[in-house]
Chains A and B, each alone.
Chain A
Amino acid sequence: MYDVAIIGAGVVGSLIAREFSRFNLSCILLDKENDVACGATKANTALIHAGYDASYKSLKGKLNARGNQLYTKLSEELNFPFKRIGSMVLGMLNEDRETIERLFENGVKLGIKDLKIIYKDEINRLEPNVDGAYDIALFAATAGITEPWEIAISACENAMNNGVELRLNYEVCSIEKQGDQFIINSDIQTKWIINCAGVHADEIFSLIEPTQNIISISPRKGEYFLLDKKAGGLVNHILFTCPTSVGKGVVISPTAHGNIIIGPNSEWTEKDDTKTTFAGLDEVLMKSRGVMKKIPVDLNIANFAGIRAEPELGDFIIEKVPDSNFINVAGIKSPGLSASPAIAEYVLDIFRSAYEPIDKLLPNPDFNPVRPSRINFMGLSDEDQNKLIEENPAYAHIVCRCEQISEAEIVDAVRRKCGARSMNGVKRRVRPGAGRCQGGFCGPKVIEIIARELGVSLEEVDFEKNDSKVLMGDNRYEE
């Protein structure tokens, strides 16, 4: 019997779990995939928006502005990469002045700091590669870049260290109401349910309200290019363009690891359609060439697509269902990532306002907000490196040549709470497979390490999801 069950372990669900772990509640975090952050959290532009874009009247506008502020402390406590590199919305004076000024004013109304309008000379100084036609821009110093899955992973790890249970490979198929409890899959009893199931949030809500039409999710797909670190310096800030008559532009931005990300486009699609397409990628490329003529596509190392849960009415749906201990957190598309710490706060407030008996809701005396950082072996001094090697010789085995990651770091990524269970799980946590060789060199070694750590045979190691085995077994007879 749990106090709270959170459905969906993306960045929103994981941060909510962490917030709830500050109290003496028994919480369980559920996800249908074999790892956290497997939905939209894994495949987006990885930006923490300053927040001037969504209207100050909207919930998403308020939560983005607040969320952005919270990221400094959050990234320090959870030790995930976060850099405020600043963003620019590029425009042309004769067409976009009004839009830029409107965004600026909206930002001011939301209390966003360090916003300013800049013009041609400063644009060219800050971004020499950008097309000279852009002569006005909204510059926001508080915008930042991050590693979205690591936010979810670190939040989940911290939540687990503070008592939350994580259950993966658990798809919610039925929710029954029994008195003041819910029964999930005739299996888990819980008093409260928080629905953060991303593109499937409408389906989850339908399990208790079959005729519900509050949440209507239309999935939109966005495709991306990821360029080699050699492209670093192409842009110094996060670059947006003003929407034109043909639609929104694409983002060109540095990533937290020094790559360049370009995308996304936006097309209506099916919920699980994460396929990249020639048409989609061509559209992204064409739009990016509007920002600067020379896009080094030959430096592309990977393409991917992410699905956003677009709500019909356009704003976040974060509300408690009347007369029920069920809270929906749905339609969290952009600026979902940026808003997520504030969303977690907001959900906790909704919960506290409705929780009975309120005097029984006590703080968790053992709550520790800090999640220990991963050891970045190559970032240490020679002396510290040798000390680590003495304690653990696995540090002396550099497995990933491109990103210079040791075996010990990979082992740690598997062994920690909310640890990696697949090759891509390792990739997202500690980088092997994310570098320019895309796992060509390190892949076999990563499989061996995962197999050894999990006590399974090589052919049982997954690439990503369950049933995504890479190998098919020793192909000679067994003794």
Chain B
Amino acid sequence: MDVNKICIVCPKGCHLNIEMNRDNAFLRVTGNLCIRGEQYAREEIDNPKRIITTTIKVIEGSIKRVPIKTATSISKSQIEDFITSATSMAVNAPVYMGDVLTIDGIQMKYICVIGRTVLKVDTKL
């Protein structure tokens, strides 16, 4: 049997047609314009993953929220755990774009990257 999915790897959004075998495991894919699409199709069947972006609270920052993103894509089944954990923590200003942040989930740790430099409030530049 097969299933149609839209590839989300790049803005092109290729329409993928993914064939699976009798055990619903990935067999092959058509419709992708590059090999990243094939990789995406595989994962989408075996273990769909996403990069998640959100914001977390900053203490004493020039702004209240700093955007973060998961350093690598995480399993869709982990998204809820990640969001719950991320939204219950805070960082202290200053934080810098590119800083690595580890967020402790229930079952696993999530490696995240700080997406914006936030200095302490009233820092003179």
| Direct contact between A and B judged by beta carbons closer than 8 A | yes
CB-CB < 8 A to B56: which residues of A? 476
In the complex, 9 of the A-B residue pairs with CB atoms within 8 angstroms, ordered by the A residue number, are A474-B64, A476-B56, A476-B57, A476-B65, A476-B87, A477-B57, A477-B87, A479-B59, A479-B90
Minimum CB–CB distance from B65 to chain A (whole Å) comes to: 8
Alpha-carbon distance A396/B87, docked complex (angstroms): 36
CB-CB < 8 A to A477: which residues of B? 57, 87-88, 90
CB-CB < 8 A to A479: which residues of B? 59, 90
CB-CB < 8 A to B64: which residues of A? 474
Q: Does A381 contact B (CB under 8 A)?
A: no
Q: Which of A475, A476, A477, A479 has the most CB of B within 10 A?
A: A476
Q: Is the interface of B mostly helix, strand, loop or mixed?
A: strand
**Is the Cβ of B59 less than 8 Å from the Cβ of A475?**
no
* Interface residues in B24-79 (C-beta closer than 8 Å to A): 56-57, 59, 64-65
Alpha-carbon distance A316/B56, docked complex (angstroms): 60
Shortest beta-carbon contacts, A-B, top 9: A476-B57, A477-B88, A476-B87, A476-B90, A476-B56, A479-B59, A475-B87, A476-B88, A479-B90
Q: Interface size of B by Cβ–Cβ distance < 8 Å?
A: 8
Minimum CB–CB distance from A135 to chain B (whole Å) comes to: 60
Alpha-carbon distance A474/B88, docked complex (angstroms): 12
Minimum CB–CB distance from B88 to chain A (whole Å) comes to: 6
User: How many contacts between A and B, using CB within 8 angstroms?
Assistant: 14
Minimum CB–CB distance from A306 to chain B (whole Å) comes to: 39
* Interface residues in A443-479 (C-beta closer than 8 Å to B): 474-477, 479
Alpha-carbon distance A477/B86, docked complex (angstroms): 11
Minimum CB–CB distance from B57 to chain A (whole Å) comes to: 4
Q: Which residue of B lies closest to A478 (CB)?
A: B57
Alpha-carbon distance A411/B12, docked complex (angstroms): 49
Alpha-carbon distance A479/B64, docked complex (angstroms): 13
Minimum CB–CB distance from A259 to chain B (whole Å) comes to: 35
Alpha-carbon distance A167/B57, docked complex (angstroms): 40
Alpha-carbon distance A420/B90, docked complex (angstroms): 35
Alpha-carbon distance A270/B56, docked complex (angstroms): 47
* Interface residues in B86-109 (C-beta closer than 8 Å to A): 87-88, 90
CB-CB < 8 A to B90: which residues of A? 476-477, 479
CB-CB < 8 A to A474: which residues of B? 64
CB-CB < 8 A to A475: which residues of B? 87
Known A476-B57, A476-B65, A477-B87; further 11 A-B contacts with Cβ < 8 A? A474-B64, A475-B87, A476-B56, A476-B87, A476-B88, A476-B90, A477-B57, A477-B88, A477-B90, A479-B59, A479-B90
Minimum CB–CB distance from B67 to chain A (whole Å) comes to: 13
Minimum CB–CB distance from A209 to chain B (whole Å) comes to: 57
Alpha-carbon distance A477/B88, docked complex (angstroms): 6
Alpha-carbon distance A475/B90, docked complex (angstroms): 12
CB-CB < 8 A to B59: which residues of A? 479
Q: Which residue of A lies closest to B65 (CB)?
A: A476
Alpha-carbon distance A475/B88, docked complex (angstroms): 10
Alpha-carbon distance A476/B83, docked complex (angstroms): 11
Alpha-carbon distance A288/B1, docked complex (angstroms): 60
Q: Which residue of B lies closest to A477 (CB)?
A: B88
Q: Which residue of A lies closest to B86 (CB)?
A: A476
Minimum CB–CB distance from B52 to chain A (whole Å) comes to: 16
Alpha-carbon distance A476/B58, docked complex (angstroms): 10
Minimum CB–CB distance from A288 to chain B (whole Å) comes to: 44
Alpha-carbon distance A476/B84, docked complex (angstroms): 10
Alpha-carbon distance A474/B57, docked complex (angstroms): 10
CB-CB < 8 A to A476: which residues of B? 56-57, 65, 87-88, 90
Alpha-carbon distance A474/B87, docked complex (angstroms): 11
Alpha-carbon distance A479/B56, docked complex (angstroms): 13
Alpha-carbon distance A476/B64, docked complex (angstroms): 10
Q: Which residue of A lies closest to B55 (CB)?
A: A476
Q: Which of B57, B65, B88, B90 has the most CB of A within 10 A?
A: B57
Q: Which residue of B lies closest to A475 (CB)?
A: B87
Alpha-carbon distance A477/B57, docked complex (angstroms): 9
Minimum CB–CB distance from B83 to chain A (whole Å) comes to: 12
Q: Which residue of B lies closest to A476 (CB)?
A: B57
Alpha-carbon distance A474/B65, docked complex (angstroms): 11
Minimum CB–CB distance from A444 to chain B (whole Å) comes to: 12
Q: Which residue of A lies closest to B57 (CB)?
A: A476
Minimum CB–CB distance from A459 to chain B (whole Å) comes to: 14
Minimum CB–CB distance from B10 to chain A (whole Å) comes to: 31
User: Using an 8 Å CB-CB cutoff, how does the interface string of B3-23 with A read, 1 for contact, 0 for none?
Assistant: 000000000000000000000
Alpha-carbon distance A474/B64, docked complex (angstroms): 10
CB-CB < 8 A to B87: which residues of A? 475-477
Alpha-carbon distance A475/B86, docked complex (angstroms): 12
Minimum CB–CB distance from B58 to chain A (whole Å) comes to: 10
